[in-house]
Amino acid sequence: MSGLLDSLLEWARLHLVPLGIPGLILTAFTESSFFPIPPDVILIPLALLDPGNAVLYGLVATVSSTAGALLGYWIGLKGGRPILLKLAGKKSVKKAEEFFNRYGAWAVGVAAFTPIPYKVFTIASGVFMLRNLKAFILASILGRGGRFMAEAVLIMLFGEEILSFLSAHFELITILVGAAVIFFLAVYSLLRRRSRS
């Protein structure tokens, strides 16, 4: 599987990076619902090649990914649990369901920022019939924007030097930020419940 993924990543670098913004739009949109290549693979080289437009690339990736999340939601709504089980397996689906029951649309925001496959949560939103689409869109914008804009700004400020730091610590950084978001949401919902009672 890792050999196939490496081949796909290489294919993306060879064929999608040269397309520039259209390649980034295509990758960011499709990755939110079915494509296995993360937009970072296109965003980072584009930002390195043209640091002056790094923030633009971050914005394009955020908007395209959020639009693709709506397609993921629709796929979940129409295709339901069988598609989700094919993508993620029983254990992951159960975990996603627990996340949704606890955090609602904000579960999407956490997945949008972290290495958790984003498409699993966008499709799960449709499967679990998440009703608050405004919160779903906002969570997607905040999660995806936080991730892509952080990458873009860091590359714009530090160039290639930041890449070794990002590749060495990216998973840890996103997990820590995800944990901080979950903690914030837990405190927020606890305070809300207390103010109601």
Give the per-residue pLDDT at 118.
86
Could you report the per-residue pLDDT of 124-168, keeping only the tens digit for each?
999 888 888 888 998 899 889 888 998 899 888 887 777 677 666
Task: State yes or no: pLDDT of 63 exceeds 80.
Answer: yes
| Least confident span in 28-37, 68-77, 109-118 | 109-118
Q: Which of 25, 36, 61 is nearest to 140 (CA)?
A: 61
Instruction: Give mean pLDDT, residues 84-103.
Output: 80
Instruction: Give mean pLDDT, residues 89-101.
Output: 81
Q: Which of 9, 44, 50, 31 is nearest to 149 (CA)?
A: 44
| Least confident span in 35-44, 60-69, 131-140, 167-176 | 167-176
End-to-end CA distance of the chain: 51
Give the per-residue pLDDT at 86.
82
List % helix, strand, coil for the chain (3-state, nearest 5): 85, 0, 15
Please classify residue 168 by burial: count the beta carbons closer than 10 Å to its beta carbon, then call 0-12 exposed, 13-18 middle and 19+ buried. exposed
3-state SS assignment for residue 87: helix
Give every CB contact of residue 3 below 8 A, 6+ residues apart in sequence: none
What is the Cα gyration radius of the chain? 17
Give the per-residue pLDDT at 82.
86
Q: Which range marks the domain in which residue 91 is found?
A: 2-196
pTM, two decimals, is 0.80
The CB density around residue 158, as the number of other CB atoms within 10 Å, is 13
Across the chain, mean pLDDT equals: 82
Domain count, the chain: 1
Take residue 143 and report the two structure tokens written for it: 């999660």
Of residues 102 and 184, the one with the higher pLDDT is 102
Q: Which of 57, 35, 12, 24 is nearest to 122 (CA)?
A: 35
Give every CB contact of residue 141 below 8 A, 6+ residues apart in sequence: 62, 66
